[in-house]
Amino acid sequence: MTPSAQRWTAADAYFEIALLGLLGSGYLAVLGSGYLDTTTAVATAAGLLVRALYVLGWVRFDISENAVTRWTVAYIAFYPLDYMYLSRDFLTATVHLVFFLAVVKVLTASSERDFFYVKIIAFLELLAASVLSSSANYFLFLALFLFFGVGTFTASEIRRSAARTDFVVRSGQRNLNWRLLGVTVFAVGGILTLTASLFFLLPRTARAAFQRLVPQRYHVPGFSNEVTLGQIGELKMRNSAVMHARILTGNEMAPYGLKWRGAALTQFDGKRWFNETNSTEVMRVEAGVLRVSSLEDTLRRARRISYEVAMQESTSDALFLAGSPETIQIAVPLVIRTPANTFRLFGPADQLRYRVYALLETGGDPKYTGRPMSTEERMINLRLPPLDGRIGELAKRIAAGSESDFDKTHALEAYLRRAYPYTTELPQVETADPVADFLFRRKKGHCEYFASSLAVMLRSIGIPARIATGFQSGIFNPLSGWYLIRASDAHSWVEVWLKGRGWTTFDPTPPDPNPAGQTLSMRLQLYADALQVFWQDWVLSYDIERQLNLAARVEQSSRSFQLRWLERAAADWAVQAKHGLEAAKRKAWLVTAAAGVFAALFFFGPALVRYARLVVRVHRVRRGQASASDATLLYRRMLSILRQRGIEKPAWITPSEFAGTVKDPQAAALVGKFTDTYYALRFGNDHAAAPRLVALLDELQRASIVKRN
């Protein structure tokens, strides 16, 4: 990797660029996984940038081998410390080591052995990304790595052959060789095409083993047994995908405001909601199905819906459910059920999928009474800390005139939705009583403050209430058929205990006055999300079941297509032939002209293309922009001129020998000069010889040559 070397050909330049791109694509693949810390990411990017400036010749530096040895020994001593105290994870510490070696080698590589190490490091980067990444952008970086990999090894083989003493390299051009680029693109396209069928023939089986090595990335706050006011508001500022949902049946009954419930919280200390009880039920999943509802629930008259949920990795240990689940199809052995009828795993799961058959709440069934609320449960859901007395007075004033608990709750809900605007702005200062601050001073907020205010106001007038947290609706992506649910869709609402109805949902949060529209950014996000869904379905989750489903679908589609095609061909053939004959009769002259043009292009098109290319190359030669390959073109042009004068060059003699066989003195002199100049351009890379060749051709064209035996 030394631009100042004696021989710096197109293959050298292409090798430099491709090798740097190979290392850079591996780096981007790991960076896209999200596991690379800021320090390592910045240091590696800086090393790649400095090397790129070096390749371009803009900077020069020389790092001694002693310095490299000292750095390497120092990092080897640092590696155990990184593993035990900083990263605290073998894979993360190893990734740090790989990128340290990458930075060192990319800055100091100069020999073929160094180049080999850089290739190995680039491969290790891509291998690390394959373990760490679950995003569809890995495929893009994989394709980029493949492109630069083919280019690197192609140029490397050319450079290795050129270094052999038993070969003569005839081309010494310094510009980028576009033929190398074409070979690279063609090879990459062939590799991707040939491996596509193999890709879908082999299900992925090693993912579970790789997952054991990968640390959990993050845990979404707000869906545990404790939520502080403002925490979900912070979550709403993020736009990352949290989960996807697909309605399987009952789609016409899925309202826009479908809520994906993750947690229900009963205790409130003035600033945070939490659950104090630990009385949970461990439920066993039998044959992949968890049966939740009782016979009484099953006989309940209500709308039913089935859907599938695909969680992003490590978002939460909560199962997010819409409606009251009857059955949950899930690939875990045990599920925890809380007293608030929420469901959790024993820990966050990676790429969790589950299908649910559930009841949708319809405002209560008059004939369904359900179990009564116990005295202890009622006390828990009415308990309040010492709060501002104005809260209770406001609740009594608004609920005055309403007789039933339902009417009182509805009046309070309508008041909050009407009197307070929605905003995603968080309070600038922390207050001792956030609910009172929202109701009487700030008078605006996001869902947590609306839900907390309604729950506290209901409890102050003796109506049991609790907070539910989860996600609201989501965005339907027509490209994938799934609902995209982002962190910004996080939501809080209220569940109220009503006699004869049980726990009933109320949502006091008004709609966002500035909803996100279908902007270009949103459309691009939907395209990216569709790619991500495809990646999850057909790459990470592609197993033998999906393989069989795909084969059955392809066979069914093929059979259906063949039947439809035969039927349509038999039915439409006569009609199309009749219309075609009538159109041909009406426009016979146009058909004849088109046939003539097609025939002319077929017979004379290739010759015209060759002539046009010849004119362009000769014009380029006249401007002094010739290459070594143009020398052969001009020599063939000279032979063509001589052939027209009756002088033919035998194929078995060299150009110098042929020049000696020409009998005409004038022609012999011109052919001799032309041959010497041809050698200067073809093998001496003398670009100044090109205009002389053109001048000699013109002179040869004008000369009066007589063939002599």
Q: How confident is the model at residue 612 (pLDDT cuts 50, 70, 90)?
A: confident
Cα distance between residue 291 and residue 486, in whole Å: 29
Q: What is the mean pLDDT of residues 260-273?
A: 90
Q: What is the pLDDT of residue 542?
A: 60
Sign for the pseudo-dihedral over CA of 380, 385, 389, 394: negative
Q: What is the pLDDT of residue 413?
A: 95
Q: Secondary structure of 518-573 in the HEC alphabet?
A: CCHHHHHHHHHHHHHHHHHHHHHCCCHHHHHHHHHHHHHHHHHHHHHHHHHHHHHH
- Residue 473 in contact with residue 257, Cβ under 8 Å? yes
Which pair of structure tokens corresponds to residue 320? 């997010």
C-alpha distance from residue 427 to each of 272, 430, 431, 437 (Å): 15, 7, 9, 10
Sort 187 into a burial class: Cβ within 10 Å, 0-12 / 13-18 / 19+.
Answer: middle
Enclosing H/E stretch for 386: none
pLDDT of residue 174 exceeding 50 = no
Spell out the residues 6+ positions from residue 344 whose beta carbon is closer than 8 angstroms to its own.
317, 318, 319, 335, 336, 338
Answer yes or no: is pLDDT of 385 > 60: yes
Q: What is the pLDDT of residues 405-458, one digit of tens each?
A: 999 999 999 999 999 998 878 777 778 889 999 999 989 988 889 999 999 999
Average pLDDT (122-147) is 78
Report angle CA 661, 628, 164 to the nearest 5 degrees. 100
In angstroms, the first-to-last Cα distance of the chain is: 57
Mean pLDDT of 568-582: 59
Reported as a pLDDT band with limits 50, 70 and 90, residue 561 is very low
The pLDDT value recorded for residue 412 is 95
Q: Which tokens in the block code for residue 621?
A: 């030669």
**Residue type at 120?**
I
Position 407 scores a pLDDT of 93
| Whether residue 206 has pLDDT greater than 50 | no
How far apart CA 104 and CA 50 sit, in angstroms, is 12
Is the predicted pLDDT of residue 265 greater than 70, yes or no? yes
State mean pLDDT over 375-398.
92
Q: Which amino acid is residue 346, in one-letter code? A: F
Average pLDDT over residues 453-464: 95
pTM above 0.75, yes or no: no
Query: Which range among 189-193, 381-385, 430-434 shows the weakest confidence by mean pLDDT?
Result: 189-193
Residue bearing the bigger pLDDT, 118 or 616: 118
What whole-number percentage of the chain has pLDDT above 90?
13
Higher confidence at residue 414 or residue 98?
414
688 — pLDDT class (breaks 50, 70, 90)? confident
The pLDDT of residue 578 is 61
**Is the predicted pLDDT of residue 638 greater than 80, yes or no?**
yes
Q: Which of 263, 252, 352, 257 is nearest to 305 (CA)?
A: 252
Q: How confident is the model at residue 327 (pLDDT cuts 50, 70, 90)?
A: very high
Question: How much is the pLDDT for 345?
Answer: 86
* pLDDT value of residue 30: 84
CA–CA separation, 292 and 338 (whole Å): 12
Choose the weakest-confidence range: 205-209, 229-233, 322-326, 654-658.
205-209
**Of the spans 140-144, 304-308, 528-532, 616-620, which averages the highest pLDDT?**
304-308
| 510-531 tens-digit pLDDT | 987 776 666 777 777 788 777 7
Residue 280 has pLDDT above 70, yes or no: yes
Of the ranges 75-89, 329-343, 405-419, 512-526, the best mean pLDDT one: 405-419
Say if residue 365's pLDDT is above 60: no
- Distance from the Cα of residue 119 to its chain's centroid: 25
Provide the pLDDT confidence category of residue 495 given band limits of 50, 70 and 90.
very high
For the CA atoms of 346, 349, 354, 358, what is the dihedral angle to 10 degrees?
Answer: 50
Who's near 8: CB < 8 A, 6+ residues apart? Answer: 174
Mean pLDDT for 637-644 is 85
Residues whose CB is less than 8 angstroms from the CB of residue 265 and which lie 6 or more positions away in sequence, other chains included: 225, 226, 227, 273, 274, 275, 340, 466, 467, 468, 469
**pLDDT tens across 23-47, in order?**
888 888 888 877 778 888 888 889 8
Examine the pLDDT at 546 and tell me if it is beyond 60. no
**What is residue 9's predicted lDDT score, i.e. its pLDDT?**
63
Residue 329 — very low, low, confident or very high, per pLDDT cuts 50/70/90? very high
